[in-house]
Amino acid sequence: MSTCNLVINGHNVKANIGESLIDAGLGGWVAIPHDCCSGQCETCRVSVVAGSVDDHGTAEGRTVLACQAKVTGDAEIVFDEVPETVKRSGTLTEITRVAHDIVEIAVTLTAPLEYRPGQYVRVKFSGFPARDLSPTVRFDATSRKNELVFHIRRYPGGLVSTQLGSTIRPGHRVQVQGPFGHAFLRDGDGPLVLVAGGTGWAPIWSLAAAARREQRHRDLIVIAGAREPDGLYMHRSLDWLIDDGVRDVIATAEIGASDAILAGRPTHYLPALGLDDTVYVAGPPGLVDAVKRKARGGRARCYADPFLPGVQKLSLVDRVMQMLRGRGGPDLPADILAPRPSAAPVPVARPVIFTLIGCERGERCVIERTEEAFATRTEDTSSANDWMRSTPPWEARVCTTLLLKVSSDEATRRSRARREALSTWPQSFAHADFAWVTPPVLNPFTRIAVEMCAANGTLRAVGYELEAGSDLPRRVTQIRELAESPAQVPA
């Protein structure tokens, strides 16, 4: 395969012709910020400052999307440094209704999460699918330590948004990952034009407040729109900007306009754009596309954050979590996860042991399923190839290589020793070193070890092999980790 030299933010990388810029960077230990890798979020937009690449239709001026653009020869690219993507846990602390279909929520994290105004994060309420949300500041432009504020529209039938205030209440546990996104505030001297539609106001308000704190020398034009006047929930922020000396603050409504609210859409009131202007737009895709076209026509820089409808469904773990929570959390009756009456008579081919876990501490159970019966336990929830109460013929299984060498009682003792070792393991999942894979858990037949965390959607695995002359297998692969990564969508 042909190779070439690719310079990424000053780092020389040996790249393969035809691979994406992101893959080329990772091959040279340079991580270009990215998220969706499908060309939607624009987190990976980079500038080509020398040479050329195959932009695959993503070019805007000298910029391309690194997840789509391919290496064609020697080139140099640069990107803006952004805070490192991290995971944080926290608690929902406030829910405030700000319009008939919009709420403001506040999440308090256990540790800081750094982001640049205009970026977004991935938010997962325990037991619900993750959503991409843009952190903002309060309507008076203030913020609190370790706090993230979001604006969320309630969509009819929304898996997450419709539960805010009912199932999702203050005190609910939250996982946050980020930041992501390319539409963040950059240094400069020319005018800033900020355009928002609906809850696209969240990142735009974050940008506007930061610009007034850090870049007061720049002229600022702010345009916020909604379908009806009631949707202009951001009026307190607009008043704050006016009081702070911003002269061009415009509110629009498609129907029901008044003297203070101009009729039409935000694009009707865009100024003539030129090379010195920097435009930021967030909201419905139609609005974003229209603003981008006008910016392109005036050769102005434009950074966009389109809000797309949510598409991710509840995962199996989320559905189990909802069932657990709906029946009272970890203090469950013994048959909470029993098969439905209509399913109970249906035999299974062979006995199996299921272990189910949730996102909250203590939300777990083990189902011991025989051919036509079952038993559910929620106290001792470690399992290792044996029933809690062995009942012939449902006893610990014996490997075929030991079938005539080890008795059922010996197999039971070995399995229960492994179960006890697992249940008394003192460390947490976060260590990620698989130190728990030691005898008696580690045995001659171990070939793979897996760790899963439902709370943050993470799975890790590592492989083992038994070498000739050895009693126990040794680790022969690197630890591989997969993390949940849904597409960028609003709640």
Extents of the domains making up the chain: 3-78, 82-309, 425-491
For residue 431, give both structure tokens. 């260590």
Nearest Cα residue to 35 out of 481, 451, 491, 483 = 483
Distance CA 384, CA 365 (A): 14
Pairing of strands 278-283, 192-197: parallel
Tell me the pLDDT tens digit for each residue of 361-373. Answer: 667 788 877 666 6
Q: Would you give the DSSP letter of residue 162?
A: G
**Mean local confidence (pLDDT), 287-306:** 92
- Does residue 313 carry a pLDDT above 60? no
Give the relative orientation of helices 235-243 and 201-214 as an angle to the nearest 10 degrees: 20
Which amino acid appears at position 274 of this protein?
G
Cα–Cα distance measured from residue 153 to residue 172, given in angstroms and rounded to the nearest whole number: 19
Band of residue 43 on the pLDDT scale cut at 50, 70, 90 = confident
Helices (H), 184-280: 201-214, 235-243
> Hey, what are 97's tokens?
């209704």
Q: What pLDDT is attached to residue 311? A: 54
DSSP summary character for residue 60: B
Backbone angles phi, psi at 236, to 5 degrees: -65, -35
Q: Residue 359: how many CB atoms within 10 A of its CB? A: 23
SS3 353: strand
Report pLDDT for 332.
Answer: 32
Mean local confidence (pLDDT), 88-115: 96
Contact call for residues 441 and 460 (beta carbons, < 8 A): no
Q: Is 411 helix (H, G, I), strand (E, B) or coil?
A: helix
Per cent of the chain over pLDDT 70 is 82
Beta-bridge mates of residue 462: 449
Q: What is the pLDDT of residue 389?
A: 67
Residue-wise pLDDT for 352-408, tens only, equals 777 777 766 667 788 877 666 677 777 677 777 766 766 665 566 666 566 556 677
Distance CA 131, CA 489 (A): 6
Would you call 206 exposed, middle or buried from its count of C-beta atoms within 10 A (0-12, 13-18, 19+)? Answer: buried
Q: How far apart are CA 302 and CA 183, in angstroms?
A: 8
Q: Using a CB cutoff of 8 Å and minimum separation of 24, what contacts does 23-30 make? A: 24/71, 25/66
Q: What's the chain's length in residues?
A: 491
The pLDDT tens digits of the residues spanning 114-167 come to: 999 999 999 999 888 999 999 999 999 999 999 999 999 998 888 899 999 989
Instruction: Report percent pLDDT > 90 for the chain.
Output: 50
Q: Work out the mean pLDDT of the chain and round it to a whole number.
A: 84
Residue 281 has pLDDT above 70, yes or no: yes
Residues 314-346 have pLDDT tens digits of: 555 555 545 544 443 333 333 333 343 433 444
* Residue 489 three-state SS: coil
Query: 461: which residues sit within 8 A by CB, 6+ positions away?
Result: 448, 449, 450, 451, 479, 480
**Helices marked H in 255-378:** 285-297, 316-326
pLDDT of the residue at 309: 62
Rounded Cα distance between 112 and 106, Å, is 14
Question: What is the end-to-end Cα distance of the chain in Å, rounded?
Answer: 44
Nearest alpha carbon to residue 130 among 153, 155, 109, 160: 160
Q: Specify the CATH number of the domain 3-78.
A: 3.10.20.30
pLDDT of 28 > 50? The answer is: yes
**Rounded Cα distance, 361 and 276, in Å:** 53
Whether the full predicted model's pTM is greater than 0.75, yes or no, is no
Rounded to an integer, the average pLDDT of 70-74 is: 94
- Any idea which fold 82-309 has? Elongation Factor Tu (Ef-tu); domain 3 (2.40.30)
